[in-house]
Amino acid sequence: MNMRWIPVAAALLGAAACSSEPAEAPPLRGARIGGPIALTDQNGRAFTDRQLAGRYRIMYFGYTFCPDVCPTDVQTISLAMRLLEDRDPALAARITPVFVSVDPARDTPAVLKQFAANFHPRLVALTGSAADIARTAKEFGIYYARGQGTKQGYLVDHSRQIYLMDTDGKPLALLPEGAPGAMADEIVKWAH
């Protein structure tokens, strides 16, 4: 796991959390994060960002063979979505959680389908060619690199941002990891 993004994320989240009044603009408004998506979903179908038009997105990059962090983060996203469904069903219905694999060699649509079935029912899991994943990761400022192989396979070192994007695919905020309630609160704060 690459930890060099954590200080940046902490600073951004800390700045937003220290204010007793809501910020006038989301912390990532105007940031050059995000871009076109043209990948393959867990059902083996072509998937583009046009299919997310008019919807808020929670964007997370990881891989299904991750032994700990990725499934934990996707579970946090799923639990936050369930909290939102209880608190504000109309808002929750306008949000799509998206998991983009940084391990396209192993994360085939069939593998992603099995992985996604363990989490939120609206989770979209995406893969593609190595070039397509590299392009998409670059658009979102995601670092990843395949690690050394072992008898059990290999790990993928990657950054861990969880982005909340607006209905046009523009960045709004980084979402906190590990706390579904805090994540749901942050989504409510910026998605209106």
pLDDT tens across 51-86, in order?
999 999 999 999 999 988 999 999 999 999 999 999
For residue 92, pLDDT beyond 90: yes
- Domain with residue 80: its CATH number is 3.40.30.10
Specify if 20 maps to a domain. no
What's the rounded Cα separation, in Å, for the pair 122 and 182?
20
Q: What's the length of the chain?
A: 192
For residue 150, pLDDT beyond 90: no
Domain that holds residue 101: 6-15+27-145+152-190
- Give how many domains the chain has, as a whole number: 1
Specify if 22 maps to a domain. no
For residue 151, pLDDT beyond 70: no
Report the predicted TM-score, pTM, of the whole model to 2 decimal places: 0.86
145, containing H or E segment: strand 144-150
Tell me the per-residue pLDDT of 17-27, one tens digit each, with 9 for 90 and over.
554 445 578 99
What's the rounded Cα separation, in Å, for the pair 85 and 168?
22
For residue 182, pLDDT beyond 50: yes
Q: What pLDDT score was predicted for residue 149?
A: 74
CB 107, CB 64: distance < 8 Å: yes
